[in-house]
Structure 1
């Protein structure tokens, strides 16, 4: 993998409070990162204007709102995601097959109607903050975490979704179950130099890997937030992550 290819597969999580901070990060890093994740924090504060701001600076947007509701509600949200022109958005696979199909059908219909490119639609399998104990003791799901992830991935594929959001630890199992044409976006990325990042003790990710490990395992995209956002030099941190990604091939 070349560094240019790695840059296209690195997604920066814009987990900041203010649009001005997000804009500053995109302006600083757009030569190093092409895909930017907008999640609950920034979208709740700034709304669709955050999407428009990133796009105006040449960035692609992964709208990480994890839609999880009745099928009609999710279908309506999917249409609006298309109208915003996002590159990618996601839903919770645990919303079930009817909900996931509704999202795909609504997005496809709206894309055709507006003559725009169909967004990549991913399903969230099991959050990277969860582990086997939480899955069993708190959520009462009597299935090993890895099996639950692959089950939900296969369900999403059967509903026509493009891929899943899953931790690095489940990439191999998903590939075996869903094949190589199925997109895997991987959060929980922690570079080898993470000890230099502030607030490491507050890290709530439980199933993690380094950038090179995730790429070697077969991730199509990796999502990185705090290791770049909290670095003394975010540009240098992004460069180091790109280098680590290329070493994974």
Structure 2
């Protein structure tokens, strides 16, 4: 599966399901539940999405001491979601413990383990910001590659990055290591607060394994048509 993941950046489930009702006939729909929605609705929103047969990417970007992240992932591993995230900056031990917790949780619940994805550098971050504010002295591309290698060595299944970094990541990691890419915009869209953006067709050319798309779909006058346009550019049958 090379999913187009719709970012459900809504306040509550009423808005979510009013939006998703437009996609009733779309097979293998994949959505992202982020902090805004999860912190208000909690795990129940995940169960409601699963009842509709919708795949869920739970994007909470965990970043804490290893023991805390492991225990949190143990809880999330029981939620039957397809993907979860941690920050690669949390380090090797944190990522390893996250994977352990995730596997323990999925085993307890008897569900397939979620893919563990590590955040590299946010697509809203520029190289200048990274160097000035994080005091990272290497290039942004080198920082992302390093985090990807660290993540794989620590048991993660892939990373979240800009598609601009995908070729370098794929070259530095194994063939099955995933690059899931936010910062996707149609050529006619505003980039909003994103810095490192690409179109769906550019992401496909760069080797993306999956797209995370928010406002280009959710704020479109016709979200279904926007989704279909992105799928066509992406070259996806969505199977």
- Inter-partner Cα distance in structure 2 for 1:89 and 1:205: 21
Relative to its length, the structure with more helix (as a share) is 1
Q: CA deviation at 1:128?
A: 0.5
For this pair of structures, how many residues does the alignment match?
235
**When the two structures are superposed, what TM-score results if normalisation uses the length of structure 1?**
0.90
Runs of 4+ in 1 over 4 A off after TM superposition: none
What is the distance in 2 between the residues matched to 1:26 and 1:74?
31
1:149 counterpart SS class: helix
Q: In the alignment, does 2:203 pair up with 1:217?
A: no
Point out the more displaced range, 72-81 or 106-115. 106-115
**C-alpha contact (below 8 Å) 1:228/1:238 kept by paired residues:** yes
1:161-176, aligned counterparts within 5 Å?
Answer: 161-176=156-171
* TM value normalised by structure 2: 0.94
- CA separation in 1, counterparts of 2:32 and 2:122? 16
Q: Distance in 2 between matches of 1:66 and 1:34?
A: 22
Distance 1:241 1:33, change over 3 A: farther
Alignment of 1:226 with 2:226, yes or no, is no
Structure 2 residue ranges without an equivalent (≥5): none
**Does the residue aligned with 1:41 lie in a helix, a strand or coil?**
helix
Structure-1 residue corresponding to 2:154:
159
Q: How does 1:1-249 map to 2 (within 5 A)?
A: 9-30=3-24, 31=26, 34-194=29-189, 200=190, 203-246=192-235
Larger deviation, residues 181-190 vs 38-47: 38-47
Distance 2:18 2:75 in 1: 26
- Tell me the C-alpha RMSD between the 2 structures: 1.5
* CA pair 33-17 structure 1, distance change in 2 beyond 3 A: farther
The 2-side partners of 1:185 and 1:36 are apart by 13
Structure 1 residues 23 and 65: alpha-carbon distance in aligned structure 2, compared to 1, 3 A threshold: same
Would the aligned equivalents of 1:122 and 1:165 in 2 still touch at CA under 8 Å?
A: yes
